[in-house]
Amino acid sequence: MVKKELLKNEQIERVLSPHPLSFMKLQALCIFLIIWGIVVWWLTNSSEYASMFSGNMWYRLILWGLVLLFIGVVASLVAIQWLIFFLYLGVFAGGLSLIFSQHWEKDIALFIPLYSIAVSIVGFLIVELYRRSHKYIITDFRVIFKGGIFTKRERTIRYDKIADIDAKQGILGQIFGFGTIIPVSQSGFGLGSDKTMAAGGIEVGAKKVGLFGFAGGGKELQTPIARSYYELHGVYPYKDVKQLVENLVQTHVPTQYQKEQVEFEKQQVDIQKQMRDLLHKQISEKPRKKAVKQTTEEEPDEEEREEEKTSTEKNPVPEDAYQPEQVDIQQQMKELLKKQKTARVIQPDEDTEDEIEEEDESEQERKEST
């Protein structure tokens, strides 16, 4: 299937997927849910504080829900992604609906840990399915990014369009050898804004005092950031993949020296065209020589010879009519070759002795042709 998507003469360098631990941020949400459900069960049943929750069965549910939503707000502000809060809110709302619909009010103490473990297992499966949906194809022409469970996303970027490469490794990445590589395009694709804000206050009335709070976005910062299916997320081995991408980018992005050489070649082609047009012009305007007549034909009489001599004297074509133009073109070529040779001297590491000798031979051939 991958080979059918390749372009003509395109070769695959590597096919990658995110490391199993690369989505630990999402997996940590599930782990916390399991741990907190067990802690609530221990606090309300086996700890020294269990007597505080024996009076009312709803105390356990309120404690579980409040801490869950509070952690959801904190995690959303840190990760700058409010989806975390709404996920925890959905888990809490789902637990309430099950308790009331199935009339499990008397079994809240056992329901909370079992429900937390069940929801976490489902969460682990969804995260793993999401991870497996990612595929990164590195070829000698471009990088192809794919991802998504229900909506399939795909991005393609060519190496000559990459302006910068951002790479990062977390603690787990440094231990297990995986990391994330974000290619930033010349149009700015791969850059994003981080926004966070939290606020609170006290409302004082005539008869009551109230607390209120809200959170949202506010801080602006342009950083390399992209969706996991628009970047090389959690690829392994990180260092080898990073080196491969940088080498491919370097081979497709021309340096300043290469640009100068291309410009020199264009100027050489223009000068050669000028010389060719001048030679064609010279040939077309030279007087045509008459073919030698066969011996059997009659010799022209004196009157015809006189007329031919007169026409030649009236319209003479000087041999050096195009000499100034030839000198000018030769001078342009000489100056261009001098500039090109100077540019090559500046880059001694990129040129070899064979290339310099070939350049001298080509220069000599151009001089002989002109």
Quick: pLDDT tens for 108-143: 889 999 999 999 999 999 999 999 999 999 999 999
Q: 73 in a domain, yes or no? A: yes
Q: What is the DSSP letter of 206?
A: S
Distance CA 117, CA 193 (A): 35
Provide the pLDDT for residue 313.
Answer: 52
More confident residue, 109 or 283: 109
What pLDDT does residue 213 have?
Answer: 52
Clarify whether residues 230 and 319 are in a common domain. Answer: no
For residues 337 and 201, the model is more confident at: 337
The answer to the question of residue 165 being in a domain is yes
Same domain assignment for residues 142 and 13: yes
> SS3 of 240, please?
helix
Chain centroid to CA 303: how far? 84
C-alpha–C-alpha distance, residues 329 and 315, integer Å = 27
Look up residue 72 and give its two tokens.
């959801």
- Residues 137, 12: contact at Cβ < 8 Å? yes
Are β-strands 153-158 and 142-147 bridged in parallel, bridged antiparallel, or unpaired?
antiparallel
DSSP one-letter code for 57: T
Same domain, 13 and 148: yes
Same domain for 112 and 159, yes or no, is no
Task: Evaluate whether residue 219 is within a structural domain.
Answer: no
Compute the distance between CA of residue 105 and CA of residue 99 in angstroms, rounded to an integer: 6
Task: State whether 8 and 70 are in the same domain.
Answer: no
Q: What local confidence, expressed as pLDDT, does residue 300 receive?
A: 53
- Is the pLDDT at 170 greater than 50? The verdict is yes
- Interval 174-185: pLDDT, tens: 999 999 999 988
Whether residue 152 sits in one domain with residue 12: yes
Which pLDDT score, from 0 to 100, does residue 164 have?
87
Q: How many domains does the chain have?
A: 3
Residues 139, 245, single domain; the answer is: yes
210 is a domain residue: no
How many CA atoms, within 13 angstroms, populate the side-chain half-sphere of residue 105?
A: 6
Q: What residues have CB less than 8 Å from 301, skipping those under 6 apart?
A: none
The verdict on 186 and 235 lying in the same domain is: yes
Asked whether the beta carbons of 92 and 112 are under 8 A apart, the reply is no
Q: Which residues on adjacent β-strands are paired with residue 153?
A: 147
* Same domain membership, residue 124 and residue 185: no
> Is 237 contained in some domain?
yes
Nearest-angstrom CA–CA distance, 232 and 249: 15
Q: Are residues 9 and 139 in the same domain?
A: yes
pLDDT digits (tens, 9 = 90+) for 206-223: 555 455 455 454 444 455
Residue 178 lies in a domain: yes
Residue 50 has pLDDT above 60, yes or no: yes
The answer to which of 143-152, 193-202, 355-364 has the lowest mean pLDDT is 193-202
**Judgement on whether residues 126 and 138 belong to the same structural domain of the protein:** no
